[in-house]
Amino acid sequence: MSEQTNDFTQWYLQTVQQAELMSYSPVRGSIIFRPDGFELWEHIQEEFNKFLRSEGIRNAYFPMLIPQHFFMKEADHIEGFAPELPWVTEVGNEKLEEPLALRPTSETMIGAAFSDWINSYRDLPYEINQWANVFRWEKKTLPFLRTSEFLWQEGHTAHADETDARQRTMRVLDEYARLCEEFLAIPVYKGQKTPSERFAGAVDTYSIEAMMKDGKAVQAGTSHYMGTKFAEAFDITYLNKENKHTLVHTTSWGVSTRLLGSLIMTHGDEQGLVLPPTVAATQVVLMPVGPWKKNPAILEKLEEIFAELKARNIRVRLDDSDNSPGYKFNEWELKGACVRVECGPRDLENGHAMVKVRDLAEKEKVDFEGLVAYIEEQLAEMTPRLLASAKARNKENEHFDINTLDELKAHIETCKAENKPTGFVLIGWDGTEETESKIKEETGFTTRNIPFEVPMEKATDLVSGKPAKHTLWIARAY
């Protein structure tokens, strides 16, 4: 396997395939989510569905194909998505009268439905979510992080006024941050996107940005306030208390299977996947070691532990294959099993097992008596520990003292020479697109977001040297 520090992308590509998270498919840029990969997504779905239920936001399902004239209704929207849209033009051998787009997102389809369903202020807020496959024909693709077809949830809500709509936008962004940090152990940077990075058709776009181990950014989730733009395009109005037709304010927001890529690139190491127990398909793997076949009591003991763990809803596997212990260690480390329990003849004799937690350096000797409790404790501690460790690493890769384009270039050169991540750089910005394009052109860095909590105010624009209107994060990004 490629070493992480030498070629992070190669390491990533090898790891996701060897750990059997995905396979390439015959369709350019579309991947197969193998069971161990798809299960990560299923756990994320389960967790986010809890939030939706607690907020009274219900799941629905809308058609995947969107008629061409629908897309045309919101000008910014079609302009933003047109180059990436796959079109169905024929069925059987017959040409369709109107081409149908494979949805890249469903504002238009859901906007039209809202127009039918929403009549009175009593119907508001109207809040819907859908789990779906979407299509964006990207030029450069990367498993999970950028694929032609991907899976996501898209929430769409309509509100009586701006305050209520903006509240929903922020509440969801907060939940995305919580989901990433507490559930996936991925630290995120919350903030607002610059106008040039807004969702096509949004008034304001907010994002959570995550820093990968190589210092590059992943936009891990976005939440948009649309104002009345889609309400105007799709005639979504309600009768207010004074019986007057009024435009609704809409929001939309989504996280996708990009999260899987972020998860792997945040925690993985030279041995392979490191997964928080919240989502790991295998939380515990039990394996007999030494000449265990001659001593059936070893397997019996492990089967007993297996049953106990199973009864506590722990995702446990027993590896009693013929492979050597070394092979098994490697395989389960590669696959990101959180806890490995080994038991050989001498262990059994002494009433203990050897326990190795994936992200800790040393094996521990643990008495059978306290084994299950020990495992539960380790599983509970692992997610917050992974988060803390990722946060500490991020801190090292945040840069606050780069004030000019030349300093940024020098920073990049130094990082290259020392084989270090370029990380997130906090800069001053005069608010112009010129600054953004110049930075992108000359360094490949892009604006990530204007953080809600600015670690320090920057006085001048990185490029123009003019007074800064905002302080924001820039980074290279996936």
CB of 43 to a copy of itself, least distance (A): 12
Kindly give the interhelix angle for 433-443 and 405-418, rounded to the nearest 10 degrees: 30
The Cα–Cα gap between 362 and 107 comes to 51
Stretch that binds a copy of itself, among 63-71, 168-176, 296-304, 394-402 (CB under 8 A): 63-71
CB closer to a copy of itself, 136 vs 193 = 136
CB of 476 to a copy of itself, least distance (A): 26
124-183 positions binding a copy of itself, by CB under 8 A: 128, 132-133, 137, 149, 151
Q: Using the rule CB under 8 A, is 70 a contact of a copy of itself?
A: yes
Helix (H) or strand (E) run with residue 440 in it: helix 433-443
**Of 280 and 468, which has the nearer Cβ to a copy of itself?**
280
CB atoms within 10 A of CB 198: 18
Q: Cβ 302 to a copy of itself, closest distance in Å? A: 19
Distances 87 to 90, 101, 302, 337, 382 between C-alpha atoms, Å: 9, 5, 55, 42, 45
Q: Shortest distance, CB of residue 34 to a copy of itself, whole angstroms?
A: 6
Selected binder of a copy of itself within 67, 80, 345, 431 (CB under 8 A): 67
Q: What is the DSSP letter of 329?
A: H
Cα-based distances in Å from 25 to 169, 313, 412:
36, 34, 36
Q: Is 269 left (phi over 0), alpha (psi -120 to 50) or beta?
A: beta
Half-sphere exposure at residue 206, Cβ-oriented, CA atoms within 13 angstroms: 25
**Three-state SS at 462:** coil
For a copy of itself, give the closer residue by CB, 127 or 164: 127
- Name the residue nearer to a copy of itself (CB basis): 11 or 234: 234
Position among 3, 7, 79, 116 found at the interface with a copy of itself (CB under 8 A): 116
Kindly identify the residues of this chain, within the stretch 2-61, that bind a copy of itself according to CB under 8 A: 23, 25-27, 30-35, 37-39, 41-42, 58-61
Fill in the amino acid letter for 398: E
Q: Per CB under 8 A, which region of 98-106, 304-312, 341-349, 395-403 contacts a copy of itself?
A: 98-106
Out of 3, 90, 270, 369, name the contact with a copy of itself by CB under 8 A: 90
1 contacts a copy of itself (rule: CB under 8 A) = no
Q: How far is the CB of 81 from a copy of itself (least distance, A)?
A: 10
Binding part of the chain for a copy of itself, among 86-94, 178-186, 233-241, 268-276 by CB under 8 A, reads 86-94
Peptide bond into 125 cis (omega under 30): yes
Contacts of 440 (CB under 8 A, 6+ apart): 446
- Minimum distance, C-beta of residue 61 to a copy of itself, in the bound complex (Å): 4
Q: How far apart are CA 478 and CA 475, in angstroms?
A: 10
Among 6, 92, 244, 417, binds a copy of itself (CB under 8 A): 92
- Rounded CA-CA distance 275/283 in Å is 9
Q: Does 85 bind a copy of itself (CB under 8 A)?
A: yes
Asked if residue 131 lies in contact with residue 59, where contact means CB atoms within 8 angstroms, the answer is yes
* Among 16, 102, 212, 298, interactor with a copy of itself by CB under 8 A: 102
Q: How far apart are CA 346 and CA 156, in angstroms?
A: 59
Beta partners for residue 353, in sequence order? 366
Amino acid, single-letter form, for residue 92? G
Size of the site for a copy of itself (CB under 8 A): 52
| Smaller CB separation from a copy of itself, 62 or 368 | 62
SS3 257: coil
Residue 76's closest CA among 224, 223, 247, 192?
224
112 binding a copy of itself? (CB under 8 A): yes
Residue 439 near residue 476 (C-beta atoms within 8 A): no
Q: How far is the CB of 260 from a copy of itself (least distance, A)?
A: 11
Residue from 80, 86, 325, 431 binding a copy of itself (CB under 8 A): 86
Residue ranges in contact with a copy of itself by CB under 8 A? 23, 25-27, 30-35, 37-39, 41-42, 58-67, 70, 82-93, 99-100, 102, 109, 112-113, 116-117, 128, 132-133, 137, 149, 151
